[in-house]
Amino acid sequence: MINRLNAKSVFSQNTEVNPRGPEAGDLMCKPDHTALVFKIYPPGADHPRASDTSIPIFPGPRVASTQLTQTEYFRADHSERRPTVHFDYMNHRGEGTPVKQAAELIYFADAPQMQMDAFQFRRYNPAVLDNWIDWDGRGDPPH
């Protein structure tokens, strides 16, 4: 019985690099962490919530894990934004002390910077997901 699927398994066995990534629905992965990309912004685009001063700049994983009620962050200061693809992603800290149970929405991450931080944009590989176009709807879907 599998109790949980960890980031290492998602990274090494269940996904493949998306050569067009980041795209909405991609997993931003490295062997010890996975997050879900949900919105993409082309180079030069502003974030729709850029003027919302209630959303702090991401303080780093250690500090964010202690901010138990804070669930939204901007990844970087807008004034330092580079003209690259940016994206929003959903993150969860997982296990730790203290345990931050709420997922976080991280806005306007810089795609090239995240890649320099060893993240890859990955999608589930065909062995994991199948759209079953060859299935007639009777019995179990083909593998």
The residue behind tokens 């176009």 is 133
Burial zone of 70 (CB within 10 Å; 0-12 exposed, 13-18 middle, 19+ buried): middle
Report pLDDT digits (tens) over 18-39.
999 899 999 999 888 889 999 9
- Residues near 73 by beta carbon (within 8 Å), at least 6 away in sequence: 55, 56, 57, 58, 59, 64, 104, 105, 106, 107
Percentage of the chain beyond pLDDT 70 is 77
Two tokens, residue 114? 């995240």
Q: How many helices (H) and strands (E) does the chain have?
A: 3, 7
Report pLDDT digits (tens) over 54-92.
999 999 988 998 898 999 999 976 666 678 999 999 998
Cα(121)–Cα(16) distance, integer angstroms? 8
